[in-house]
Amino acid sequence: MAKEKINEYIHGIKSTSYLLDIDENNNFFKRLCIFFNHPITNGEIEMHLNKNDSAEMLIEENNEVFINTENVNARIEKEKEIFKEFNE
Protein backbone atom coordinates (compact mmCIF):
# COMPACT_ATOMS: atom_id res chain seq x y z
CA MET A 1 0.00 0.00 0.00
CA ALA A 2 1.32 3.42 -0.98
CA LYS A 3 0.09 5.75 1.75
CA GLU A 4 0.21 9.52 1.20
CA LYS A 5 -0.66 12.31 3.62
CA ILE A 6 -3.24 14.80 2.33
CA ASN A 7 -4.35 18.20 3.59
CA GLU A 8 -7.65 19.97 3.96
CA TYR A 9 -9.10 21.30 0.69
CA ILE A 10 -8.07 24.83 -0.31
CA HIS A 11 -10.10 26.39 -3.13
CA GLY A 12 -7.96 26.82 -6.23
CA ILE A 13 -5.37 24.17 -5.25
CA LYS A 14 -5.78 21.17 -7.56
CA SER A 15 -4.42 18.49 -5.26
CA THR A 16 -6.03 15.42 -3.69
CA SER A 17 -7.41 16.64 -0.39
CA TYR A 18 -10.41 16.45 1.91
CA LEU A 19 -13.00 18.90 3.12
CA LEU A 20 -15.16 18.86 6.21
CA ASP A 21 -18.82 18.34 5.38
CA ILE A 22 -22.06 17.60 7.23
CA ASP A 23 -24.30 14.65 6.42
CA GLU A 24 -28.10 14.44 6.51
CA ASN A 25 -27.96 13.70 10.27
CA ASN A 26 -25.84 16.79 11.01
CA ASN A 27 -22.73 14.66 11.62
CA PHE A 28 -19.38 15.91 10.41
CA PHE A 29 -17.33 13.79 8.00
CA LYS A 30 -14.35 14.21 5.73
CA ARG A 31 -15.14 14.27 1.99
CA LEU A 32 -12.36 13.19 -0.38
CA CYS A 33 -11.64 15.56 -3.29
CA ILE A 34 -9.77 14.25 -6.32
CA PHE A 35 -8.62 16.00 -9.48
CA PHE A 36 -7.80 14.63 -12.92
CA ASN A 37 -8.02 15.51 -16.60
CA HIS A 38 -10.96 14.41 -18.74
CA PRO A 39 -9.71 11.60 -21.01
CA ILE A 40 -11.29 13.08 -24.17
CA THR A 41 -11.26 16.87 -23.76
CA ASN A 42 -8.29 17.07 -21.34
CA GLY A 43 -10.37 19.55 -19.28
CA GLU A 44 -9.90 19.59 -15.54
CA ILE A 45 -12.26 17.45 -13.46
CA GLU A 46 -12.79 18.15 -9.76
CA MET A 47 -14.65 15.34 -8.03
CA HIS A 48 -15.91 15.35 -4.44
CA LEU A 49 -16.71 11.79 -3.38
CA ASN A 50 -19.75 10.87 -1.31
CA LYS A 51 -19.57 10.01 2.39
CA ASN A 52 -19.28 6.23 1.94
CA ASP A 53 -16.69 6.35 -0.84
CA SER A 54 -14.69 8.91 1.12
CA ALA A 55 -14.76 6.76 4.27
CA GLU A 56 -13.45 3.78 2.27
CA MET A 57 -10.51 5.75 0.88
CA LEU A 58 -9.45 7.98 3.76
CA ILE A 59 -7.14 6.76 6.51
CA GLU A 60 -7.02 8.76 9.74
CA GLU A 61 -4.07 8.25 12.07
CA ASN A 62 -2.81 10.51 14.89
CA ASN A 63 -4.95 13.47 13.77
CA GLU A 64 -3.58 13.25 10.23
CA VAL A 65 -5.38 12.18 7.05
CA PHE A 66 -3.92 9.81 4.46
CA ILE A 67 -5.02 8.05 1.29
CA ASN A 68 -3.97 4.80 -0.29
CA THR A 69 -2.74 6.21 -3.60
CA GLU A 70 -3.36 2.91 -5.37
CA ASN A 71 -7.07 3.05 -4.45
CA VAL A 72 -7.39 6.70 -5.49
CA ASN A 73 -5.61 6.07 -8.81
CA ALA A 74 -7.88 3.08 -9.47
CA ARG A 75 -10.94 5.28 -8.82
CA ILE A 76 -9.62 7.94 -11.22
CA GLU A 77 -9.08 5.32 -13.93
CA LYS A 78 -12.60 3.98 -13.36
CA GLU A 79 -14.05 7.49 -13.76
CA LYS A 80 -12.02 8.05 -16.94
CA GLU A 81 -13.40 4.82 -18.41
CA ILE A 82 -16.95 6.01 -17.70
CA PHE A 83 -16.23 9.27 -19.52
CA LYS A 84 -14.80 7.35 -22.49
CA GLU A 85 -17.84 5.03 -22.69
CA PHE A 86 -20.19 8.00 -22.50
CA ASN A 87 -18.42 9.64 -25.45
CA GLU A 88 -18.53 6.56 -27.72
| Predicted structure pTM score | 0.89
Distance in angstroms (rounded) separating the CA atoms of residues 58 and 76:
15
Q: pLDDT value at position 64?
A: 96
Count CA atoms closer than 13 A to 17's CA, side-chain side: 13
pLDDT band for 76, please (50, 70, 90 cuts).
very high
More confident residue, 88 or 77: 77
CA distances from residue 44 to 30, 36, 83 in whole angstroms, order as listed: 22, 6, 13
Q: pLDDT value at position 12?
A: 87
Separation of first and last alpha carbons in the chain: 34
Residues 9-62 pLDDT 10s: 998 889 999 999 999 999 999 999 999 999 999 999 999 999 999 999 999 999
